[in-house]
Amino acid sequence: MKHELVKVARPDAVVGIDLGIKTLADSDGVPGAEPNPRHLDHAQKQLRRAGRAVSRRRGPDRATGQQASKRWEKASQARNKIHHRVANLREDTLHQTTRLACKYGTIVVEDLGVAAMGRNRRLSRRVADAAFGEIRRRLTYKTRRRGTRLVVADRWDPSSKTCSRCGAVKTKLPLSMPVFECDNCGLVLGRDANAGHNLVALAARTTSTAAAGDLDLATAKSKPRGADRKTRVTCPRRKDGTGRAGGAIPSPRAGKETGDRQQDTGAQLALR
């Protein structure tokens, strides 16, 4: 089924979205910020209680062929119901991106390394609960459906470290500093709001002749550090006769069998 293009409210407006854990989405041009609901964190107490109830029951065992008890099945269903509710709440939060796709003609987002962020043992659960990659995926098809433009900033672009007023770049900006303070011009602004201003400026510098809704920077530039290149090159097989010793080296077993056959042939000639 083909979807018809829907006109947006402000086709000439640009909005930059900075994703985070404390604030799920802080954007430039939109009053306020979208707080992170943290559905999984709020359900941890219920999940721990339901998990203890499941562990006390007699569960299935594949090694011995033991069947699960009725009480275990009932407790497992109660635990799965909590997980299902958290998933539905997260789904509803992610679909709130439709408001941005219906209002602005150009949306700028970051190309975050979600897989690398998930390796942090302190932030992995919250990163997975925020679903940064899913937000970008939904914005991609929603902007294409409405004929708008989605610009993806480069992964290594220092949008949070760059001053949105004078362009000075800080060498270090730890996550513990929620406020950006510029040492050059004295600008004091929220970290996410400053990044949103820089993303909007990036969209103004970007000129694209592609169709509406295409990703501009993520597909045009190759990622650094060899991320889009093969890490192992398969060498062509050497032909016989071009080995290190002038030819292919046979296995020891093959050499013994060849020597045995030669000895047998010599013995037959001696008998003749």
Catalytic residue check, 192: yes
Residue 269 sits at φ, ψ, to 5 deg, of -65, -35
Question: Does the annotation count 73 as an active-site position?
Answer: no
- Give the pair of three-digit tokens for residue 63: 């090694």
Q: Round to whole Å and give the CA distance between 128 and 105.
A: 29
Q: Which of 110, 129, 214, 216 is catalytic?
A: 110
* Amino acid, res. 2: K
26, 192, 214, 216: the catalytic one is 192
List Cα–Cα distances, 144 to 38, 134, 167, 212, 262, in angstroms. 29, 16, 32, 6, 75
Strand positions, DSSP E, the chain: 10-19, 23-28, 33-35, 104-110, 149-153, 179-181, 188-190
d(CA 48, CA 57): 15
- Phi and psi at 200, nearest 5°, equal -65, -40
CA dist 141 and 267 (Å) reads: 80
The total of other beta-carbon atoms located within 10 Å of residue 22's CB is: 14
Q: In degrees, to the nearest 5, what angle opens at C-alpha 261 toward C-alphas 256 and 264?
A: 125
C-alpha–C-alpha distance, residues 39 and 196, integer Å = 25
Angstrom distances, CA of residue 131 to CA of 117, 223, 237: 11, 22, 45
Distance CA 151, CA 213 (A): 8
Task: Tell me, rounded to whole angstroms, the distance of Cα 107 from its chain centroid.
Answer: 19
Residues belonging to the active site? 18, 110, 192
